[in-house]
Amino acid sequence: MKDQIIKTVIKDIIKDSISQTGNSAIVLRKVGDIVVEQRPIPIIEDSHCVKIAIKATGICGSDIHYYRNGGIGKYILKAPMVLGHESSGQVVEIGNAVTRVKVGDRVAIEPGVPNRYSDETKEGRYNLCPHMAFAATPPIDGTLVKYYLSPEDFLVKLPDGVSYEEGACVEPLSVGVHANKLAGVHFGNRVVVLGAGLVGLLTGAVARAFGASDVVFVDVFDNRLDRAKDFGATHTFNASKLSAQELADEVKELLGGQNADIVFECSGADACIDAGLKVTKAGGTMVQIGMGKNYTSFSIAEVSGKEMKLIGCFRYSFGDYRDAVKLVASGKVNVKAMITHRFKFEDAGKAYDFNIAHVGEVVKTIITGPA
């Protein structure tokens, strides 16, 4: 018995020794080329920094864009880059000054860290900081690694009962939280969501959680609209082959002859932007979340004539991650319903290819591990 215990201890020591020899990472070397590489294990040098063993990571559309095209706008892939920014994990080491988390805590990782001295950060809108270091945005490496470093104040602890997979879904959910806060959604609001993709679904779900009485999802794919029923939809509408005005008229009818208090445009399509302006009530609000063409045409008379608000939305800011975790923990938003596929860490390359080949059926793919 004693010999067996010794053998087990030795085996564990060897296993731990091997695990510390490298930091497995999913690296995009160039367009169309994803590999597993060994990177140095990160060392905590900032006393407020935390080392996390990554447990789950979601694949984002931006990752796919870098994989296929090598760039998004001004961010161009010029050197190999670790992918991933929707991650959760477990704290394995903390800096000397860390007080917010401890070793063993399970956390969601907010992946964008601003410059602490920019005007935008001081104004409380750090998501707009021009010096933001955002994971998996060239030249910043992402979170698809065995061990990742983060400042302690960009981590949110996951309550008991919230899985690592759900923790990885907090990143896109935070976009929906931020959009709803910008719009000021409250009890009794009539809300329209144009585009029932991932962000649209989550934005609508948050609107219902914030008290909206009506949430109308509009899309051109019936399978997306069917899924919207799991994300707070009170009505769904297929807008195929309709003009912007026809779409607006149909939605108004669904709302009992009333226009929407708040519209979330989540597609970026010209027709939806135009329709969104038309379906917003006088004095109402439209939040533009979807990223379409750099330039588009719409009736500015709708904006000025209705004295409506047209608000841009970019990522998330202070408190959004924390509130997103609360929504998941309370069961008010079921992010598990958006997870359609799972892949192991070593199969990450296959996961990206699968997402591209099955874009119509994938909502969210989770890569598990490696830790």
67-78 mean pLDDT: 93
361 or 6, greater pLDDT: 361
Beta bridge partners of 265: 194, 288
Residue 6 has pLDDT above 50, yes or no: no
Per-residue pLDDT tens digits for 261-282: 999 999 999 989 999 999 999 9
Residue 294: predicted pLDDT = 84
133-146 mean pLDDT: 97
Residue 36 CB contacts under 8 Å (≥ 6 apart), including other chains: 24, 25, 26, 27, 345, 346, 348, 349
Residue 13 has pLDDT above 50, yes or no: no
* Residue percentage of the chain with pLDDT more than 70: 94
Beta bridge partners of 112: 134
Q: What is the pTM of this model?
A: 0.91
Q: Any idea which of 44-58, 151-165, 238-252, 275-289 has the lowest mean pLDDT?
A: 238-252
**What pLDDT band is residue 353 in, cutting at 50, 70 and 90?**
very high
Instruction: Say which amino acid occupies 108.
Output: A
Tell me if 50 sits within 8 A of 93, measured CB to CB.
yes
Residue 108 has pLDDT above 90, yes or no: yes
Residue 158: predicted pLDDT = 98
23-43 mean pLDDT: 97
Tell me if 363 sits within 8 A of 354, measured CB to CB.
no
Look at residues 209, 195, 363, 225 and name the one whose alpha carbon lies nearest to residue 287. 195
Residue 12 has pLDDT above 60, yes or no: no
Per DSSP, the three-state class of 27 is strand
**What pLDDT band is residue 17 in, cutting at 50, 70 and 90?**
very low
Residue 282: predicted pLDDT = 97
41-58 mean pLDDT: 98
Residue 21: predicted pLDDT = 53
Residue 64 has pLDDT above 80, yes or no: yes
Per-residue pLDDT tens digits for 293-344: 888 888 899 999 999 999 999 999 999 999 999 999 999 999 999 999 999 9
Residue 292: predicted pLDDT = 82
Homologous superfamily, domain 175-312: NAD(P)-binding Rossmann-like Domain (3.40.50.720)
- Domains of the chain by residue range: 21-168+334-368, 175-312
For the domain made up of 21-168+334-368, give the CATH fold. Answer: Quinone Oxidoreductase; Chain A, domain 1 (3.90.180)
DSSP for 70-128 reads: SEETTEE--S-EE---EEEEEEEEE-TT--S--TT-EEEE--EE--TTSHHHHTT-GGG
**What pLDDT band is residue 11 in, cutting at 50, 70 and 90?**
very low
Residue 15: predicted pLDDT = 41
154-177 mean pLDDT: 98
Residue 97 has pLDDT above 60, yes or no: yes
Residue 218: predicted pLDDT = 97
Cα(168)–Cα(230) distance, integer angstroms:
19
State phi, psi for 90 to the nearest 5 degrees: -120, 135
Residue 14: predicted pLDDT = 33
CATH topology match: 21-168+334-368 vs 175-312: no
Tokens standing for residue 164: 């690592």
Mean pLDDT for the chain?
Answer: 93
* Residue percentage of the chain with pLDDT more than 90: 88
Tell me if 316 sits within 8 A of 177, measured CB to CB.
yes
Per-residue pLDDT tens digits for 189-238: 999 999 999 999 999 999 999 999 999 999 999 999 999 999 999 999 99
